[in-house]
Structure 1
Amino acid sequence: MTGPSLFPVFLIGLLGSVHCVGMCGGIVGALSVAAPRARPFPVAVMTAASERSEPAERLWRVASYNAGRIGSYAIAGAIVGGAARGAQAMTGLTALQVGGYWLANLMLVALGLYLMDAWRGLSRLESLGQSLWRHIQPLTKRLLPLDSPLKMLAMGGLWGWLPCGMVYSVLLTAMLTGSALSGASVMLAFGLGTLPTLLAMGLAGAQLRQWMQRRVVRVLCGLVVLLFGVAGLMRVAAGMPLNWLDAVCITPMTAVAP
């Protein structure tokens, strides 16, 4: 992917973070208030004493966790991008790649509907990752108590493999880049898009979570993602014209004919 084409991926992460608040917001909130050597993971309820944690310490914990999480996304992107590169080198399936861009933009439409709670079909994808997660989840217990930045980093790295339909939809885009480096870049851009909300969750806590989970916020964010997908579908159908859409559409590295 070219540099500008990473911008829509970043926006998808930013807008899709309303979903992250529901899945990971409680975890991040618990990490931000957990007292070192005293409080286990995860913590469901914040107490008055825990809320007195120093802001810098809380930021350091949440930042370490998110660095690990985003690092896992980048590794996954490199894996699928590299695998696709190898398959393309052996088979040269250009037509299949074009079909993949149709599918990638259809997945954006599905993701928009998912964020809007209008259609939950993407949740079925999460079942595909359950078998891997069953092997990873027990490892999180070995990191307790979370009393060092390295443990926070490792916990985020493990939690990045939690089954998530939104992550899987973006992984498809990473796969279509056709290289390990580009695939990692896509997932890094996506992860950075989710970062502002989850960092704010770690510092602001339950109030921000309640606001982000409001239906009007989810609908607006989902609608923008859906429009990205529709614009991409229209562009692929027209043979990739209108270069000004590079900044807002998921596109291949070079224009391809339908």
Structure 2
Amino acid sequence: MPETGYWAVFLIGLLGGAHCIGMCGGIVSALSGPQPGTASVWSRQLAYNLGRISSYTCIGAAVGALGSASLLFNRFLPIQLALYVLANLMLIGMGFYLMGFTRVLVGVERLGQGLWRRIQPLSRHLLPVRDWRGALPVGFLWGFLPCGLTYSVLSLALVSGSALRGGGLMLAFGAGTLPNLLLAGMLAMRYRNVVRSRSFRLVAGLIVLAFGVYGLIRAPELGGRLWAGVVCAV
């Protein structure tokens, strides 16, 4: 995927490490023990994250297809533009969230809590995780965890206007979150303390906020080069 927009979403996932660790840190820590052996830990961590990223990709494809089928982007530019502005406002909100203004996206995260209450009990039947076969479905279910960062990127997937682009966006985002959660799972608190430090969160939040501000400035051309190949342009 050569388009810059996919790299931008990858970077958003990478910079959102503090938030990802806060949301999924407990489960990745549980996957690091008590089974002995480094190979066993790595296999469980990788399987969990593969399941989680697969879930993101499926949701992104569904949202992208929904946008393509129901909004007829090629005919209704005002609708497309409004959703594009909303997507960038979500990124700005996520930037503030990362900087410590944690109430900004609380309302957005509540939108998915109804679905999560139905899905979470399914994961309990799969715990404790003893090998990668158990970690894979747990990761897939955990991909539905209500998360403001995930919803911010999903809003871009909706504007993408196709299942392929929507799935690709969420795949790039999931890949960006992977290093943080792998390191958090293997190094536990030592890495988490660095990523969740105030200075890291401030820098990460400012960069994500900048993506949203840039997108709003370039709204008349739907993001220009930054979101080229991602947003369905007329």
Structure 2 length normalisation: TM-score? Answer: 0.93
2: distance between equivalents of 1:252 and 1:149? 36
What stretches of structure 1 of length at least 5 have no aligned partner?
36-52
Q: What percentage of residue pairs aligned between the two structures are identical? A: 46
The CA RMSD over aligned residues, in Å, is: 2.1
Cα displacement string for residues 5-25 of structure 1 (whole angstroms, at most 9, x for unaligned residues): 211100000001210111111
Aligned to 2:26: 26
Tell me, yes or no, if the aligned pair for 1:25 and 1:198 is still in contact at 8 Å: yes
Does residue 143 of structure 1 match 2:126?
yes
Task: Measure how far apart 1:120 and its partner are.
Answer: 2.1
Structure with larger Rg:
1
Which runs of structure 2 are paired with 1:163-174 in the superposition (5 Å)?
A: 163-174=146-157
Q: Which of 95, 103, 106 is the matching residue for 1:123? A: 106
Q: Which of 48, 67, 84 is the matching residue for 1:65? A: 48
Does residue 207 of structure 1 match 2:187?
no
* Structure 2 residue matching 1:171: 3-state secondary structure: helix
Letter in 2 for 1:230: V
Paired residues, what number? 234
Letter in 1 for 2:6: L
Go from structure 1 to structure 2 and tell me whether the alpha carbon gap of 1:34 and 1:178 turns closer, same or farther (over 3 Å shift). farther
Cα displacement string for residues 119-170 of structure 1 (whole angstroms, at most 9, x for unaligned residues): 5221211111111011101101211331231210000001110111111111
Does residue 88 of structure 1 match 2:71?
yes
* Structure 1 residue matching 2:150: 3-state secondary structure: helix
Go from structure 1 to structure 2 and tell me whether the alpha carbon gap of 1:9 and 1:193 turns closer, same or farther (over 3 Å shift). same
Task: Measure how far apart 1:251 and its partner are.
Answer: 5.9
Aligned to 1:236: 219
Go from structure 1 to structure 2 and tell me whether the alpha carbon gap of 1:250 and 1:215 turns closer, same or farther (over 3 Å shift). farther
Go from structure 1 to structure 2 and tell me whether the alpha carbon gap of 1:250 and 1:101 turns closer, same or farther (over 3 Å shift). farther
Structure 1 length normalisation: TM-score? Answer: 0.84
Q: Which of 48, 64, 74 is the matching residue for 2:57? A: 74
What stretches of structure 2 of length at least 5 have no aligned partner?
none
1: distance between equivalents of 2:9 and 2:44? 26
Aligned to 2:170: 187
Aligned to 1:7: 7
Letter in 1 for 2:155: L
Letter in 2 for 1:69: R
Cα displacement string for residues 187-223 of structure 1 (whole angstroms, at most 9, x for unaligned residues): 0000000000111111111111111111111111001
Go from structure 1 to structure 2 and tell me whether the alpha carbon gap of 1:118 and 1:144 turns closer, same or farther (over 3 Å shift). closer
